[in-house]
Amino acid sequence: MKFLTDLDAKLFLLEIGELEKISSVTRDYTPTNEELTSFIKKRREEGGALKDHDKSRKAKEGWRKNRADRMRGIRSFHKSTEGKRFHKRLGRFLASRISSNNEDTDNEVLEYLKGLCAAKNTLFTELEFYHPLTEQFELDSIVMDYALPMFGIIESKVVRKQALSEDEFDFLLDITETAEVVRALANKSGKRESEVEKAWDEIKASLLKQNNKESDPQFYGLLVSILKKKLNLT
């Protein structure tokens, strides 16, 4: 088990009753086998009451509501070479869909699938870190009941060169760096990157001024539809 912050390590020890170590522990702390066994046993005992039968809907709501918090693993992955590659690949894929172009070559399909695979793997990075009990169950549900099935559906559609649904498209927009989407759209439209970025920012500001929220399910879909017209990508 890993810890993102010193506080997470302290909460872990508090949860298993190891109070004497709390004052000096840091994020670099490595739990003993006995501590991990105690932690797992306690989580199993307390976790049952937090389970919900309506998993998919709850997980989707959790993603939309707390997606910024849930992206810690992906954000930390951005700086790596492979992280930059996956954002470029997904940026190109989204740009191809925004421009209504589903005629991908086999090589392009392979590149998109590599990007999706890398993005999917980064979600597991988040599961390696300690989280408070309620947050852990929410995260597990988001990853296992929403994100992974969503990746599976999208991967299948990429292989079959089928159109994505609005939810699937919005999901990919959530996990892809905006800068890479903007860069790919600039290449598609033949416009300068700074021009596309300015248009993106202006449309986003206008939507927010109209009391739309980024957490709204269709926020980025609406933004993209307006941008598409502005760039003449029809």
Give the Cα separation of 129 and 182 in Å (integer): 32
Pick from 158, 155, 157, 150: which is nearest to 106 by CA? 158
Residue-level pLDDT at 50: 45
Give the Cα separation of 174 and 64 in Å (integer): 9
Lowest model confidence (mean pLDDT) among 18-27, 131-140, 161-170: 131-140
Q: For 56-109, how does the pLDDT look when each residue is reduced to its tens digit (9 = 90+)?
A: 566 666 665 665 555 554 545 455 566 677 778 888 888 887 766 556 777 888
Do 163 and 182 contact (CB within 8 A), yes or no?
Answer: no
Give the Cα separation of 158 and 119 in Å (integer): 15
Q: Roughly how many angstroms between the first and final C-alpha of the chain, as a whole number?
A: 48
What are the extents of the domains in the chain? 1-50, 52-230
- Angle separating helix axes 55-70 and 133-141, nearest 10 degrees: 110
Output the pTM of the full model: 0.61
Residue-level pLDDT at 195: 93
* Complete DSSP assignment for 66-124: HHHHHTHHHHHHTTSHHHHHHHHHHHHHHHHHHTT-----HHHHHHHHHHHHHHHHHHH
Average pLDDT, the chain: 76
